[in-house]
Amino acid sequence: MGEWRLDLQFFAGEKTEKATPRKRQEVREKGQVAKSGDVVSASVLLASFLALSLAGAYERDGLLRLFARALSDYASASLTVDSLHRLFLDWLSHASLLLAPLFAAAVLAAGLANFLQIGALFTVEPLKMDWNRLNPVQGMKRLFSLRALVELLKSVLKAGIIGAVVFAALLAERSELAALVSKTPGEALTVVGGLTVKMGLYAAGALLFLALFDYLYQRFEFEKSIRMSKQDIKDEYKKTEGDPLIKSRIKQKQREMAMRRMMQEVPNADVVITNPTHYAVALKYEDGKMEAPVVVAKGADYMAMKIKEVAKTHGVVTVENRPLAQALYRQTEVGDMIPEAFFKAVAEILAYVYRLKGNV
């Protein structure tokens, strides 16, 4: 049988991974979020009819006053340019007062519905001109895409369910509707108004119920649209953390610079304590300026050999003390004062060095 060979790089471009927090932040800044327009529409509709049901008496009395004024004051007024202007402003002010509760409820519901879905977000990216939207080819693709088909089916489903809910509400009140012919105009208006509000609330509730499923669908589509490939994640990591090769080179340069600075301090040391081959620790002590000797350089193996070479070149005394050299190498860093436990041993070595130099 023949062997199949798979090139794993072929699958590297498939967007199978969840979006990273950085990718989510980037698309959010562009205004791309998981949001259902149906949730906003249903919330506005529900809030409007709730406001109408609560402020029904206010709206009714306001309309009656407006009609009464139209039939009394406006009917007897002479028609001139100034009177028509005043009439328009008067009607506009009264209509504004009547619509204010409904408008406030709708605006509040729309803002709350958007905030609960996406949180606080302000961006002007969606307002920028996108010439692809004017591309007829792209427009035809969107028109006949799977998403367009899903939206069409959703619209048909919403219309069917809401129509059924409204019809059921009307069917339940058929006796009241049949009795309208025997009621006074005021009573009939009350019945029709109450039925209208009831149908609106039922329709808004049904639409809100459907909108919850639409929101889940929009979240699913959004998560699918922002998926990343393994290569995308690698590229993002390089951007945020830096190229590993460059980072390693920077660290290498830093080590080389630290090594050069350390080697420059070896000629100023008083003594170099060695293992003798594996470790080397250079110490310096200035009486009156330092509380204890300070490690100015240390190294193992090749670095220890370099420290000893520099020390020999500049006449720095080298003393072999294996336990002390190993302990100082492991327990101190360059620039540290030696621990108190080594004061006596180092003091004896420094005294020996000073005698060699003739300082004592």
pLDDT tens string 2-34: 455 545 444 455 777 888 888 888 888 777 788
* Last-in-domain residue among 179, 202, 237: 237
Domain that holds residue 126: 16-237
The answer to whether position 305 is within a domain reads: yes
pLDDT in the model for residue 108: 93
97 and 223 assigned to the same domain: yes
The answer to whether position 10 is within a domain reads: no
232 and 304 assigned to the same domain: no
pLDDT tens string 118-135: 877 776 666 666 666 666
With H, G, I as helix, E, B as strand and everything else as coil, classify residue 3.
coil
> How far is 317 from 352, CA to CA, in rounded Å?
10
330 and 218 assigned to the same domain: no
Q: What is the mean pLDDT of residues 230-255?
A: 73
The count of domains in the chain is 2
End-to-end CA distance of the chain: 89
222 and 282 assigned to the same domain: no
104 and 212 assigned to the same domain: yes
pLDDT tens string 66-120: 777 777 766 666 767 777 777 778 778 888 888 888 889 999 998 898 888 887 7
pLDDT in the model for residue 13: 58
pLDDT tens string 329-351: 888 888 888 888 888 888 888 88
Q: What is the CATH number of the domain that holds 322?
A: 3.40.1690.10
49 and 145 assigned to the same domain: yes
pLDDT tens string 195-224: 888 888 888 888 888 888 888 888 888 888
Asked if 118 contacts 110 with a C-beta cutoff of 8 angstroms, the reply is: no
The answer to whether position 224 is within a domain reads: yes
**Residue 36 pLDDT more than 80?**
yes
230 and 335 assigned to the same domain: no
Interior/surface letters 171-199, b for 16+ CB within 10 angstroms, e for the rest: eeeeeeeeeeeeeeeeebeebeeebebbb
pLDDT in the model for residue 16: 77
* Last-in-domain residue among 237, 253, 283: 237
Best-predicted range by mean pLDDT (25-39, 127-141, 235-249): 25-39
The answer to whether position 56 is within a domain reads: yes
197 and 232 assigned to the same domain: yes
pLDDT tens string 176-194: 877 877 878 777 777 887 8
Lowest mean per-residue pLDDT among 5-14, 149-158, 163-172: 5-14
SS3 content of the chain, % helix, strand, coil (to 5): 70, 5, 20
47 and 188 assigned to the same domain: yes
pTM value?
A: 0.54
**Residue 57 pLDDT more than 50?**
yes
The answer to whether position 87 is within a domain reads: yes
pLDDT in the model for residue 133: 64
The answer to whether position 1 is within a domain reads: no
Considering the chain, what is the average pLDDT of its residues? 80
User: Which tokens is 195 given?
Assistant: 């039925």
Strands of the sheet containing 271-274, edge to edge, are: 294-300, 279-284, 271-274, 317-320
Question: Nearest 5°: phi and psi at 103?
Answer: -65, -45
User: Which tokens is 207 given?
Assistant: 């639409």
pLDDT in the model for residue 11: 46
The answer to whether position 7 is within a domain reads: no
**Residue 250 pLDDT more than 80?**
no
User: Which tokens is 153 given?
Assistant: 């089916």
Asked if 270 contacts 349 with a C-beta cutoff of 8 angstroms, the reply is: no
pLDDT in the model for residue 130: 65
User: Which tokens is 172 given?
Assistant: 């339940």
The answer to whether position 9 is within a domain reads: no
204 and 338 assigned to the same domain: no
pLDDT in the model for residue 316: 87
293 and 199 assigned to the same domain: no
pLDDT tens string 226-237: 888 888 777 777
207 and 95 assigned to the same domain: yes
